[in-house]
Amino acid sequence: MSVAADAGLQVLFSSDSVVSVRLSAALLIAAFLFLALPFCFRKNIVDKHGHPLPPGPLLRYAFLRKYPERALQAWSKTFGPLFSVFMGNQLFLVISDARIARELLVNNGAIFSSRRMYFMKNQTILRGRAITASPYNDTWRQHRRIASQLLTPKAIQGYAAEMDYEAHILIRSLFRESQMGSLPLNPAHIAGRYALNNMLSISFATRTDSTSDPLVERALALATEFMDLTGPWSNIIDFITPLQWIPTPMRTRGRKLHDGIIEVYGAMILRVKARMSAGEDVPDCLVKTLIETQEQERLDWEDMCMLSAVFTLGGVHSTSGVIQWFLALISSHPEIQARAHEELDRVVGRDFWPTAADEHRLPYIRAIIKEVERAHAPFWMATPHYSTEDFVYNGMYIPKNTALVLNCYDIHHNEEKYPDPYTFNPDRYLGDNLSCAESSKLPNAMDRDHWAFGAGRRICPGVHVAERELWLAISRLLWSFDIKSLPDEPISLEEYEGESGRTPLPFRIQVIPRHDRVQAILEAEDEITLVK
Ligand code: HEM
């Protein structure tokens, strides 16, 4: 290379450096100003009567990635049970008190029941559908009405036999895979298939007949990816708009997930359609309802796919998460397990295992389930609600388009309602004879059992199904097994996986059959394969 050319390149190179240094400096200043702006302007955000925003940290945050509930808890200690925080351009209000949650989300549900259009969850993956992602409008009402028909206590009687059967298979899979309790195992995939099969049966009148079925892997992978990509605080791309314009790996993952949902669930709808066209008497299920009412309800293909996916996306990791948290907790609390075994032996005996009808006779087992849901709700932040009008609460201004987070972590650790809240203590629920669905309707917020299923008009419509699934699984796990942790493998109850739905880090336990009737009952039924 000639000297002149070399010198030219050096000039070019050094002028590039100057440009890039200037650009970086400009970006840094812009980022600093962006994050610090609320520091200057927060006090100026008032309504026409001068009501200020609820107090909160001054800086704007780009995202909260790991264990956000801990940051929220620290802030609520400093700023109180209703505080505000800016995430990028979005104002969030965090509710850490049951009474405020009831006042805003339930009593003023007409104003606080929409959803923020998150870039990742609502715009990219679900495209504003699937009930959970719909704004509070007629489409949401229509989709929720269609889905809820399948989830009422009366409707689930129609799936009672299938749910009972899946609980049988859950216990049998643990029994067999652990070789009658002699080998330790990680229960995650078995709990996952249990929850998945229940959702497949309600949604598609089908099931998977082994954990190695490729559908189990695919559907669970989609549900896991959904939980990882849709945390209410965790994605910087949700809060910094320019990042949404460029092809980041995050955006690519969101689009891929959307396409995966359409592909997998679309194919399953077509299978149900083919069964119906072939004249088969397909049992009642969500997709049968969708196919039969598609024209009348004016559902397009994307509606059909997203609606058929919604139970699996919302009802698998949540329910299997509670079962996994139960197994993690109970194996670390042998004294609680011994009391549960005593109640089961005394009330149902050892000849038969508990059924749905025994729930009211086994208050301690019910209390255990509620205590697991309180101590380890799968969604610490529920799903944020969104306001559609300006509102003033207790002299504080809540502008239209504010996202409201139900901070279940703080609410579930409130000393006044739950003395010694960090201790796993089912006794606190003895005497509570209401289902979670019934309890959510109590007029006094402090009487409600817990908030794991959310609140108000967006409360989880799957609550009745989830309660039935959890009852059958947990009462039978306790009836069948001594559940033990391994001396050299402590189970972490603090850490977890998942950005929106939380499951424990992988762990292993031993499930040792408690008596001879366990095997006899388990071998009494064969695994069935339904048409897929
Ligand atoms: C232990 C299990 C479950 C837990 C803890 C749970 C929890 C939740 C929570 C916290 C919400 C948000 C509520 C709110 O915005 O206030 C929700 C919404 C939802 N859940 Fe569940 N859920 C569970 C099981 C299920 C099941 C089994 C299904 C389906 C059969 C389901 C379907 C839905 C749907 C469709 C929504 C969106 C509702 C809407 O936006 O209108 N969930 N769930």
Q: Atom 31 (ligand 1): residue with closest C-alpha?
A: 462
Cβ of 465 below 6 Å from ligand 1: yes
Q: Report ipTM (2 d.p.).
A: 0.99
The percent of residues in the chain predicted with pLDDT above 90, rounded, is 76
> Cα of 235 to ligand 1 centre, how many Å?
21
Whether 12 shows a pLDDT value over 50: the answer reads no
Task: Please classify residue 530 by burial: count the beta carbons closer than 10 Å to its beta carbon, then call 0-12 exposed, 13-18 middle and 19+ buried.
Answer: middle
How many helices (DSSP H) and strands (DSSP E) are in the chain? Answer: 19, 9
Mean pLDDT within 175-204: 95
CA 199 to ligand 1: nearest atom? 30
Mean pLDDT within 260-273: 93
Whether 37 shows a pLDDT value over 80: the answer reads no
Average the pLDDT over each of 44-53, 206-215, 401-410, 513-522 and give the range with the smallest value. 206-215
Whether 373 shows a pLDDT value over 70: the answer reads yes
Q: How many CB atoms lie within 10 A of CB 352?
A: 11
Cβ of 203 below 6 Å from ligand 1: no
Q: How far is it, in rounded angstroms, from Cα 278 to Cα 252?
A: 39
Cβ of 466 below 6 Å from ligand 1: yes
Q: How far is it, in rounded angstroms, from Cα 14 to Cα 9?
A: 8
CA 316 to ligand 1: nearest atom? 27
The position carrying tokens 């400009």 is 26
Mean pLDDT within 8-22: 55
> Cα of 308 to ligand 1 centre, how many Å?
15
Residue of 143, 204, 318, 436 to mutate, ligand 1, most atoms within 8 A of C-beta: 318
- Binning pLDDT at 50, 70 and 90, where does residue 501 land? confident
> Cα of 184 to ligand 1 centre, how many Å?
32
Whether 362 shows a pLDDT value over 80: the answer reads yes
> Cα of 311 to ligand 1 centre, how many Å?
8
> Cα of 462 to ligand 1 centre, how many Å?
6
Mean pLDDT within 110-138: 94
* pLDDT value, residue 8: 43
> Cα of 440 to ligand 1 centre, how many Å?
14
SS3 92: strand
SS3 25: helix
Mean pLDDT within 231-235: 82
- Binning pLDDT at 50, 70 and 90, where does residue 13 land? very low
> Cα of 195 to ligand 1 centre, how many Å?
14
- Catalogue the E-assigned strands of 131-222: none
Mean pLDDT within 393-404: 97
Q: Atom 7 (ligand 1): residue with closest C-alpha?
A: 453
Interval 296-353: pLDDT, tens:
999 999 999 999 999 988 999 999 999 999 999 999 999 999 999 999 999 999 999 9
Q: Atom 3 (ligand 1): residue with closest C-alpha?
A: 318
Mean pLDDT within 402-417: 97
Residue of 460, 469, 474 to mutate, ligand 1, most atoms within 8 A of C-beta: 460
- Binning pLDDT at 50, 70 and 90, where does residue 208 land? confident
Q: Atom 6 (ligand 1): residue with closest C-alpha?
A: 453
The position carrying tokens 């026409």 is 48
* pLDDT value, residue 159: 92
The percent of residues in the chain predicted with pLDDT above 70, rounded, is 92
Answer for the pair 287, 204: CB distance below 8 angstroms, yes or no. yes
Mean pLDDT within 491-505: 89
Of 513, 523, 461, whose CA–CA distance to 482 is shortest?
Answer: 513
Interval 442-485: pLDDT, tens:
999 999 999 999 999 999 999 999 999 999 999 999 999 999 99
Whether 18 shows a pLDDT value over 80: the answer reads no
> Cα of 257 to ligand 1 centre, how many Å?
20
Mean residue pLDDT of the chain comes to 91
Whether 42 shows a pLDDT value over 90: the answer reads no
> Cα of 69 to ligand 1 centre, how many Å?
19
Q: Atom 41 (ligand 1): residue with closest C-alpha?
A: 458
Cβ of 455 below 6 Å from ligand 1: yes
| Better-predicted residue by pLDDT, 444 or 236 | 444
Mean pLDDT within 134-144: 95
Cβ of 54 below 6 Å from ligand 1: no
Interval 80-90: pLDDT, tens:
999 999 988 89
Cβ of 460 below 6 Å from ligand 1: yes
> Cα of 452 to ligand 1 centre, how many Å?
9
State the Cα torsion 416-419-425-426 to the nearest 10°. Answer: -40
* pLDDT value, residue 16: 59
The position carrying tokens 């208050």 is 363
Of 469, 500, 494, whose CA–CA distance to 169 is shortest?
Answer: 469
CA 130 to ligand 1: nearest atom? 35
Mean pLDDT within 361-390: 97
